[in-house]
Copies of this chain bind each other. A is one copy, B any other.
Amino acid sequence: MESINLKTLAKQLNLSISTVSKALRDSHEISEATKKRVNVLAKKLNYEPNPHASSLRKQKSKTIAVVIPEIANNFFSLAINGIESVAQERDYHVLIYLTHEDYQKEVNIIKHLQSGRVGGVIMSLSSATKNFDHLHELINHNIPIVFFDRICHEIETAKVTTDDFQGGLAATEHLIINNCKNIAFASISESLSIDNKRMQGYLEALNKHNILPIKSNFIKCTNNDFNNYTKIKKILSNKNAPDAIFASVEKLAITIYEVCDELKINISEQLKVICFSNLSTAHLMKPSLSAIKQPAFEMGKEAASILFKHLDKNRTFIPNEHIILKSTLVARGSTLIK
C-alpha cells in the first residue's frame, strides 16, 4: 500500500537518506558492510526507486519514444520488437506513439516530447510530412532523434535503412528477367525517402535494360485503401494495363491481390507482382508473394543501440551516420511463370 522509499529504508537502518542512496548506487564512499545491509533490506522490502524523482533530479529519463505511422503492420511491429529487445536488456523504457500518417498528429506528438519526458526518439516519418520544423525544434531542445526506414535527410543524425535503391533495382530487374515488358511502380507518397529510393532503383533497372519509363506506369497511391483499390482497378481494367507491378509497400500488394481477385486476373500469368514486405504468410498466399524482405527486427535493434549508446554517454547530439542493412529478394509464385 504505502510505497517504500529511501526514507523508509534509512529509518529502518538508522542511516541517512544519502547513505542509503549511495549504497544502492554502489558508491565508493560507502563501506561494504553497510552496502550489504542496505541491499538486503531493499531486496526484502522490494524497494523500487521512484523514476519520476530520479528523472527530475537527473534531468534525464531512461525512456525513449518510438514514433511511427502505424503498428498493425508487420514491418513496424517487428521493428518495435527489435527496439524493445535492446531496451529491455539495457533497462530502458519504450513509449509508443502513432501518427496514423497524419502530419498534424506527428507535430503534436513531437511538440509534447519537448517536455523532456523522454531522453530520445526513434522514428519513421509519416507519409504526409513535408516540413521538418518540429523535428529541428525537438533537437534544439537536446532530444536526439534516430530515424529508421522513412528517414529525414535534412536532419543531421543517425539513420538506419535498408538498401532501398538496390532493392528497387533488384525487384524491377527480377520482373524484367521474368519477361515483363510493361512494369508499373506503385507508391504511397511522393515525399517519402523509401518511395523515392525504391523508385530510383526501378528507374535504374528500366534504364539498364533500355526500357523507357511511361508516365501512366507510376501508380501514385495514398493512405486511403479504398481510393487505392479503385485507382488500381481502373488501371488493371485498361487495355494497355501493365504486365507487372512493383509495389513499394506491402499494403499495396494486398490491394492488388484483391483487385485481381475481383477482375479474375491471374497473378503471375497475366500480372506479376512483387513488393517490399514482411508478411509472415507471403509463402502461403495464392499465389505466393514475391517480396523484398527487410530485416525489420535488426533495423529496430540497430536504431535503438545507436540511440542508447549516445544517451548513456550523455551525448545529446548524434552525428550523421547512415547504417544500411541488406534486404533480400525472395522470389515466389507471383513473379514466376508456371
Residues of A with Cβ closer than 8 Å to B? 1, 3, 46, 48-53, 55-56, 61, 63, 70-74, 77-78, 80-81, 84-85, 88, 93-98, 105, 111-112, 114-117, 137, 140-142, 254, 257-258, 261, 279-281, 283-288
Known: A52-B56, A258-B284. 6 other contacts (CB 8 A): A81-B98, A94-B95, A254-B281, A281-B281, A285-B286, A286-B286
User: Inside 8 A of A56's CB, which chain B residues have their CB?
Assistant: 50, 52-53, 56
A50 to B56, CA, bound (A): 8
Q: Are B84 and A78 in contact (CB under 8 A)?
A: no
Q: Once the chains bind, are B97 and A96 in contact (CB under 8 Å)?
A: no
Contacts of A284 in B (CB 8 A): 254, 257-258, 261, 285-286
- Let me know if B81 and A115 touch, CB within 8 A: no
A71 engages B51 (CB within 8 Å): no
Assuming the A-B contacts A93-B95, A96-B84, A98-B84, are A52 and B61 also in contact, with contact meaning beta carbons closer than 8 angstroms in the complex? yes
* Cα-based distance from A11 to B137 in the complex (angstroms): 23
**How near does chain B come to A111, taking the closest CB pair, in angstroms?**
7
Q: Which residue of B lies closest to A140 (CB)?
A: B1
Known: A72-B74, A84-B98, A93-B117. A141 touches B61 (CB 8 A): no
Asked whether, in the complex, the Cβ of A141 is within 8 Å of the Cβ of B285, the reply is: no
The complex places the Cα of A46 from the Cα of B134 at a distance, in Å, of 11
Cα distance A88–B97 when bound, in Å?
8
Residues of B within 8 A of A63 (CB): 95
What are 18 pairs between A and B in contact, CB < 8 Å?
Answer: A48-B112, A48-B114, A50-B115, A51-B117, A52-B56, A52-B61, A70-B81, A71-B84, A72-B77, A72-B81, A73-B77, A84-B98, A93-B95, A94-B95, A95-B96, A258-B284, A279-B281, A285-B286
